[in-house]
Structure 1
Amino acid sequence: MFPTPIERRSLAAQWLYRVAVAVALVVWLMPLAAVALTSIRGPADIFAGNYWGWPTRWQLVENYRAVFRDTELGRYLLNTCLIAVPAVAGTIALSCMAGFALGVYRFRLNVVVFFLFLAGNFVPFQILMIPVRLMSLQLGLYDSVPGLILFHIAFNTGFCTFFMRNFVRELPYELIEAARMDGASEFQVFRKVVLPLVRPAIAALSVLVFTFVWNDYFWATVLVQGDHAMPVTAGLKALSGIWVAQWHLVAAGSIVAALPPVLVFFLKQKHFIAGLTMGATKG
């Protein structure tokens, strides 16, 4: 079997593996530790160049209180929730219906339509910046929450349809035929037979799409300018100030902005892993 399990390798290889994992973990966590320390240190440490050392003054409560009191972080978080939740719901609803249609029905252009959904995932999103912005201006959706919601739904539906279609095709087709023979309509087959069986896939896609939408920065800066619709990722740049960079507030705001997707992942971790591994083994 390839790759060979580490337990079957030589003792030197096992020790090398452990050391490499420890070094990689430290290197990966160092920026996160620096941001966490910066979020609880005072501005005097930053001005003195104390970026990695132990804080000389602890400002845990002051910094996190100031980032909500003196900035628009609360509004940015609310805007992100207003964008992420409908975007996830719309994406999952459309991808489930499209995945059901492409996975169950056998029509002439089935493969063509499927590849149209799939082809959008291979287009670099940078080249879509100008057309999407012009389209949002023409439709009156520029600099608005509904504009970002519709864009994220359109942008993520292709990948989610590809994911959901493959899950639907793995279901026993006899269950669908049996439901039809019992007199169930196509919508009842979809709602009462297919949806309960693909719940792990729905949970996995929900976590992925929520993370994508919440952490989006590029399209938030392309399609939004005002604070009334600014998501938290793009709004963090306003915390640095105009003349003086308030890095302790930027770090505190970054920690607050990173918490929701992390919490969602850990709360849905079992469903996420079950959705990704569904159908991976047989027997």
Structure 2
Amino acid sequence: MSTVTREKPAVRSAGERRDKKTKWHWGTHLFLAVMAVIWLIPLLWSIYTALRPKASTDAHGYFSIAGDFNFQNFIDAWTQAGLLKYLGNSALITIPTVLITLFLASMMAFAVSRVSWKFNVTLLILFTAGNLLPPQVLAAPLFEIFKHIELPYSLSPSGSLLNTSFAVIAVNTAFQIGFCTFVLSNYMKALSADLTEAALVDGAGIWRQYWSIIMPLCKPAIAALATLEVIFVYNDYFWPLLFIQSGDLLPITAGINNLQGQFLSNYNLIAAGAIITVLPTLIIYLFLQRQFVAGLTLGSSKG
């Protein structure tokens, strides 16, 4: 009888696997480095343009390194455009919007994730589906609705909800609450059910379970969402431009248009104004960076 021998497949050594893994990491790091550079090019170019006087740009061109460099464009942008006033308007819109959105979204997330009742999934789907609707589709109906909602002239110069910060706050809250509810509900579902069950045995009601037990554990997720929401609302340009007609009430994203000339645009000055508008969100991100990263990495590891 003839015996058939089969060759065993070669087993990769630990060194070969390590080399392959190292090559994969190098490729990943190279890709991320290239993407980071591409992402930073517009920001660095704006800073470079803002530091150059317009005279140097006109004499040598935008793609040159000759000429003077100073901070005069930042000083002129701050004084000419009245950016301090517009920053205050942005704060009056952003801070209430973020606080109201996170408060309402956290309550809704608690209701659909920690309380057993018939409409849990239905409500979560409705809140999530609201994010799929393009905001521009509702621009005309919302404008008409706000025009017919009367307010005292002490609160609104138009006598209606138009031309007020309340309109922008209401719309931004409505459009952002679905995303925040979805994120917070997923995080709350990951918390142990024993926490609320033990509290229920001890006599804690729904509000006590929400405020004293669940909310303190959600601080990393809330901090991450707060950072994102501040960026989203602060950078919003469409809704303030639609609902606010008075230039004194515009946020900084729309107020920066004051740096545009009627016949000539000083792009160095506009670049300086754009850099100034970025600083508040950058400061907030740096202040909440640890909580933001912790909120993003929750659930990424086992155990």
TM-score, reference length from structure 1:
0.90
Which residue of structure 2 lines up, in the alignment, with residue 56 of structure 1? Answer: 67
Pair 25,170 (structure 1): closer, same or farther in 2 beyond 3 Å: closer
Pair 19,99 (structure 1): closer, same or farther in 2 beyond 3 Å: closer
Which residue of structure 1 lines up, in the alignment, with residue 148 of structure 2? Answer: 138
Query: Can you list the C-alpha shifts for 1:242-281, whole angstroms capped at 9, x where unaligned?
Result: 1221222211110010111122112211111211222232
The correspondence of residues 143-182 of structure 1 with structure 2, limited to 5 A, is 143-182=163-202
AA matched with 2:48: L
How much does 1:233 deviate? 1.1
The alignment partner of 1:228 has SS state of helix
2:121 is aligned with 1:111: yes
Distance between the aligned counterparts of 1:57 and 1:27, measured in 2? 26
TM-score, reference length from structure 2:
0.84
How much does 1:18 deviate? 5.5
Distance between the aligned counterparts of 2:206 and 2:290, measured in 1? 31
How much does 1:9 deviate? 4.7
Distance between the aligned counterparts of 2:265 and 2:73, measured in 1? 14
Pair 50,22 (structure 1): closer, same or farther in 2 beyond 3 Å: farther
Distance between the aligned counterparts of 1:14 and 1:115, measured in 2? 38
The correspondence of residues 31-42 of structure 1 with structure 2, limited to 5 A, is 31-42=42-53
The correspondence of residues 5-24 of structure 1 with structure 2, limited to 5 A, is 8-9=20-21, 20-24=31-35
Which residue of structure 1 lines up, in the alignment, with residue 139 of structure 2? Answer: 129
Distance between the aligned counterparts of 2:167 and 2:136, measured in 1? 18
Which residue of structure 2 lines up, in the alignment, with residue 47 of structure 1? Answer: 58
AA matched with 1:177: E
Aligned residues: 277
The alignment partner of 2:253 has SS state of helix
Query: Can you list the C-alpha shifts for 1:80-135, whole angstroms capped at 9, x where unaligned?
Result: 11111111100110011111111112211221111110110111222122122222
Distance between the aligned counterparts of 2:18 and 2:168, measured in 1? 46
Which residue of structure 1 lines up, in the alignment, with residue 130 of structure 2? Answer: 120
Q: Is the 8 A contact 1:103 1:166 kept in 2?
A: yes
Distance between the aligned counterparts of 2:198 and 2:246, measured in 1? 54
Q: Is the 8 A contact 1:41 1:56 kept in 2?
A: yes
AA matched with 2:256: L
AA matched with 2:47: A
Distance between the aligned counterparts of 2:168 and 2:107, measured in 1? 22
How much does 1:15 deviate? 6.3
Which residue of structure 1 lines up, in the alignment, with residue 40 of structure 2? Answer: 29
User: Structure 1: which 5+ residue stretches go unaligned?
Assistant: none
Which residue of structure 2 lines up, in the alignment, with residue 259 of structure 1? Answer: 279
Which residue of structure 2 lines up, in the alignment, with residue 76 of structure 1? Answer: 86
Query: Can you list the C-alpha shifts for 1:128-184, whole angstroms capped at 9, x where unaligned?
Result: 221222222222222211211111111101110111111111111111111111111
Q: Is the 8 A contact 1:92 1:206 kept in 2?
A: yes
2:108 is aligned with 1:98: yes
The alignment partner of 2:203 has SS state of coil
How much does 1:198 deviate? 0.8
Q: Is the 8 A contact 2:81 2:256 kept in 1?
A: no
User: Structure 2: which 5+ residue stretches go unaligned?
Assistant: 1-16, 150-159
Pair 21,181 (structure 1): closer, same or farther in 2 beyond 3 Å: closer
Structure with the greater alpha carbon radius of gyration: 2
Q: Is the 8 A contact 2:81 2:255 kept in 1?
A: no
Distance between the aligned counterparts of 1:247 and 1:190, measured in 2? 51
Q: Is the 8 A contact 1:83 1:145 kept in 2?
A: yes
